[in-house]
Amino acid sequence: MIYDQINQPNSSPFMADFYSQKEDLSTFFHYLPNQRSFENRAKTLKSHRVDRTQLTKVIREYMANLTHSEKVDTHLKELEENALVVIGGQQAGLLTGPLYSVHKAISIVIMAKQQREALGIPVVPVFWIAGEDHDLDEINSTFTPQRGSLIKTTYNDRPNRKQMASESMLETEKLQSFIQDVFKQFTETVYTKEMLQKYLKIADQVSTYSQFFTVMMHDFFANEGLLMIDAAYESLRRYESPYFEKMIEQAPEIATLVVDQETRFQQAGYGQPIQASSDSANLFFVENGERFLLKQVDGVFHNEAAGLSFTKHELLDIAKNHPERLSNNVVTRPLMQEMVFPVLAFIGGPGELAYWATFKTMFEHFDMELPVIVPRLSITIIDRKSKQYLDELGLPLESVFDGQLQLHKQTFMDDVKDDVAEEMILEIQKTLVAQYGKLADHLASTQSASAFSVLTEKNLQIHEKQFTYLSRKIEDANLLRHDVKLRKYNHIEGFIFPEYTLQERWFSPLLFLNEVGPTLIDDLLSQPFEFNGKHKVISY
């Protein structure tokens, strides 16, 4: 494995400023990611009250049915005593969802190790599964590259209602069929058959999106002691009951503070990532596994479309006695995470970091600070063929991300174009148009002009369509003669920078596990990754 770093592709103005730790960002964050921040945050957390016994009991219960891991046991014991956590989360995508889910977990594990050593105190990694999310269209499919294009494979079972991922049932036969369809897109290697059987077996053991995600992630990170918890887990909800009460009591203040802070974020030139509204309760009500976002006006919490309406007293009673019927949204989820865990650092993607930038004053309202916010590692894996083709074409990796590869490809296509044939077709077209013009003039003087004008025009259009068709066919045939080289360009684009975006946003880790083998995750964890804003590149 070869490790390299390049400048971050497609970086937004906000992320560029964040990576450079621009001083003005103190308006939005209590800590920027440097070692002094970690030290100060650790001191602050000494006064952060967490029911560690109950919290570890909930996590231990959630992970009880997973394969045993001594490292998980160790981390649970440390968390019960005095450990801090590095935390991040993601939706429960099938086959873990896009690679960035795994990259986020890798970031959490590595950051926890680094800070354990730097601070000299126990720091454990925690992955917060967003099982309460209900947009299954975002998590029920995966993509594989084929000849420069993306092939989408979807688990086809659409419920009538928008159920949460933790309650959305998976049918074993359909799930196994989905997995087999994904593997059909892979090039067969010495690892393929064993991998397929492994994941078909896992599919036979799980019943929901969240369970499938949890089992796969535990399989990847059990040896690292990654602790996992589903945000929608009922025991966790009971633990969160008093925190829901606080959020209900302070719902108007939460909404106003986030709206105002987002306005400042927009005025700084960074946009409106949340588009917060002052009448949002920033909580969902859960009914039969379906979530309904509540609004709040004059102490009444409601969702008109669902016919729901609660007084503040009624909703507080639900929070106290039936907290499983409440769920956080993008605003209150970070708040809940901070109330539940002793968070040293939060690991997030670019979009999440922009969200968190709007939460500073909300956290202060609850006498809390934002944890140290750290961008997750962004990683591209260069498959063997792409590496070979880049070498053969004499192109550096950066050319894929900065548009030079596409220009190189277009120049090649222009160079091999049959200009002679194109000119001959154009000449024939000109002659034909001229002859049709003469015919039209003649008919106008001897026949019914209106009748033949339409007919000659239509006839000319038919000829022109045929010329276009002929020109395209000549071009296709010519490109086919150079197909070997064009396939190299297409393969590089499709694997490394599909749709002009990073591969980590499209592909499941299984694509590369199939090529590299089961040591891929351990290989990535062993790299000397730095949280320096650079894009990480791994090749074999």
Render pLDDT for 43-70 as a digit per residue (tens, 0 to 9). 999 999 999 999 999 999 999 999 999 9
Q: Is residue 290 part of a domain?
A: no
How does DSSP assign 50-91, residue by residue? --HHHHHHHHHHHTTTSPP-HHHHHHHHHHHHT-EEEEEEE-
Q: Is residue 179 part of a domain?
A: yes
Render pLDDT for 378-388 as a digit per residue (tens, 0 to 9). 999 999 999 99
pTM of the entire predicted model? 0.89
> What is each CA distance from 400 to 67, 381, 407, 498, in whole angstroms?
41, 13, 10, 10
DSSP letter, residue 482: T
Least confident of 300-309, 414-423, 506-515: 414-423
Render pLDDT for 145-172 as a digit per residue (tens, 0 to 9). 998 899 999 998 766 567 888 988 999 9
Q: Is residue 180 part of a domain?
A: yes
Radius of gyration of the chain (CA): 29
Last residue of a domain, one of 171, 197, 212: 212
Provide the domain count of the chain.
2
Contacts of 13 (CB under 8 A, 6+ apart): 269, 270
Tokens encoding 233:
């887990």
Q: Is residue 102 part of a domain?
A: no
Last residue of a domain, one of 163, 197, 212: 212
3-class secondary structure, 209 = helix
Q: Is residue 443 part of a domain?
A: yes
> Residue 419: which domain range?
384-503
What's the gap between Cα 328 and its chain centre? 19
Q: Is residue 483 part of a domain?
A: yes
Give residue 295's pLDDT band: very low, low, confident or very high (50, 70, 90): very high
For residue 280, the tally of other CB atoms under 10 A from its CB is: 21
Give residue 468's pLDDT band: very low, low, confident or very high (50, 70, 90): confident
Dihedral (CA of 92, 95, 101, 107) sign: positive
Please list the helix, strand and coil fractions of the chain in percent, rounded to the nearest 5, in that order.
55, 15, 30
Q: Is residue 447 part of a domain?
A: yes
Q: Is residue 529 part of a domain?
A: no
How does DSSP assign 394-410, residue by residue? T--THHHHSSHHHHHHH
